């Protein structure tokens, strides 16, 4: 007699599918070190793919999560994207030296909207080079862009050699929408990945973004999403 084990699923997704697509967000400016520590503990307990923490917390988070499978991500030129390229490069290099393996950098929004496409691409490419082979996700901040600008941004990010296009910082007037995610997915090649961020805080919303082609979702609602999965999966 053969023993078979059924892996619980909800809407066709396993726990690993969901947890493995969550970047647990620790970016609010008022977080204390105790709250950062508690957030890292949540990421480890729920087995998220990463935490995305403030640059000042990278070394601390790296120490807390050593020995787990949780990657350390951080942000560069956050949340406005207005740093010079040299500053973005320095931020990236320092983050990597401190233990970050994923970089979420904000695109130069004003330059993009001004049509300075080569400057935008060169800026991203410099961050990619400074990341030295580590993942680079480029935040477009879609709340401020037209659909045509979103498409242009996707093309520039891909040409610059980054790994992901990402919807938003979570600090703009709006976050991820399914329409934007579909547009971004259609505007990059299959080797590029898409990350949602901002407002995706329930299990069903999480699966919705995965279903339109996202590979990651940045959220503070990790426990809510994954506890709900455990309750509903069969």
d(CA 25, CA 215): 16
Per the structure, the complete domain to which residue 204 belongs is given by 76-232
Helix (H, G, I), strand (E, B) or coil at 194: strand
Is 90 exceeded by the pLDDT of residue 130? Answer: yes
Count how many domains the chain has: 1
User: Is 227 within the bounds of a domain?
Assistant: yes
DSSP assignment of 179-192 equals: HHHHHHHHHS-TTS
Which active-site residues does the annotation give?
A: 104, 166, 195
pLDDT in tens, 222-234: 999 999 999 999 9
User: Is 88 within the bounds of a domain?
Assistant: yes
pLDDT score for 2: 57
Local confidence band at 4 (pLDDT 50, 70, 90 cut-offs): low
Please state the pTM of the whole predicted model: 0.96
User: Is 226 within the bounds of a domain?
Assistant: yes
Q: What angle do CA 118, 122, 125 make, to 5 degrees?
A: 140
CATH code of residue 169: 3.20.20.70
Backbone angles phi, psi at 225, to 5 degrees: -65, -50
pLDDT in tens, 169-220: 999 999 999 999 999 999 999 999 999 999 999 999 999 999 999 999 999 9
Average pLDDT of the chain, as a whole number: 97
């Amino acid at each position: 007699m053969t023993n078979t084990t059924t892996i619980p699923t909800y809407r066709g997704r396993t726990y690993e599918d969901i947890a493995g697509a969550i970047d647990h967000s620790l970016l609010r400016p008022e977080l204390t070190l105790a709250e950062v520590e508690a957030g890292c503990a949540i990421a480890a307990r729920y087995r998220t793919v990463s935490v995305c923490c403030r640059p000042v917390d990278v070394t601390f988070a790296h120490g807390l999560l050593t020995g787990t499978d949780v990657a350390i991500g951080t942000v560069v030129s956050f949340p406005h994207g207005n740093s010079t390229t040299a500053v973005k490069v320095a931020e990236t290099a320092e983050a990597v030296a401190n233990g970050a393996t994923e970089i979420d950098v904000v695109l130069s929004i004003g330059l993009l909207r001004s049509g300075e496409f080569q400057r935008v691409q060169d800026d991203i490419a410099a961050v990619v080079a400074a990341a030295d082979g580590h993942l680079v996700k480029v935040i477009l901040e879609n709340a401020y862009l037209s659909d045509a600008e979103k498409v242009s941004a996707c093309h520039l990010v891909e040409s610059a050699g980054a790994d992901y296009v990402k919807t938003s910082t979570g600090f703009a007037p709006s976050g991820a929408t399914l329409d934007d995610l579909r547009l971004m997915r259609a505007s990059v090649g299959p080797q590029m990945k898409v990350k949602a961020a901002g407002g995706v805080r329930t299990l069903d919303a999480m699966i919705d973004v995965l279903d339109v082609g996202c590979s990651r979702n940045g959220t503070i609602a990790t426990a809510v999403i994954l506890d709900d999965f455990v309750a509903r999966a069969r």
